[in-house]
Amino acid sequence: MSAKNKLSLSVQYPDTRLRDSITRQKIRRWAQAALLAPAELTIRFVDAEEGRVLNRDYRAKDYATNVLTFAYNEGEDIAEDEPTRADIILCTDVLEKEALEQKKTVEEHSAHLIVHGVLHAQGYDHDDDDEAAEMEQLETDILAALGYPDPYAT
């Protein structure tokens, strides 16, 4: 691993439902694949209630969402060797429901949401059509390199 993509990773499972299937080893592989620079990341799996509270308190949206990214040095000018720092919160209830609705495995959807969250942590966004297209293409390419299907294919 190059110093450029050095990853310090903490994984938390206060909601334990995915602990045995979405392992720290898988999460590290997915996050590492999406890194463009060094990072210190916490990935946390929560239930619908904690997900709803976080989304309400930090985004003023009173519902649980699939993934929330809290990028702590967002918008800062950081040195090339300075790590991106972020917490990425995945809501197990929403993740499992979406996987079923989208006819994906929980693993495929988890990989996608972690890649998506890691890209957000590094400044990628999807606020307009051009940004969304760029981010979606990057996600698709990263997931393909990991052996997963296009998450946006219908």
131 pLDDT band, cuts 50/70/90, is confident
pTM: 0.94
Return d(Cα 144, Cα 80) in angstroms, integer.
27
List, for residues 111-129, the tens digit of each pLDDT value. 999 999 999 999 888 888 8
14 pLDDT band, cuts 50/70/90, is very high
Longest dimension (CA), the chain: 42
pLDDT of 4 higher than 70: no
Task: Give backbone dihedrals phi and psi of 8, rounded to 5 degrees, phi first.
Answer: -105, 120
pLDDT at 60: 97
pLDDT of 106 higher than 90: yes
- HEC readout, the chain: CCHHHCEEEEEECCCHHHCCCCCHHHHHHHHHHHCCCCEEEEEEEECHHHHHHHHHHHHCCCCCCCEEEEECCCCCCCCCCCCEEEEEEEEHHHHHHHHHHCCCCHHHHHHHHHHHHHHHHCCCCCCCHHHHHHHHHHHHHHHHHCCCCCCCCC
pLDDT at 1: 44
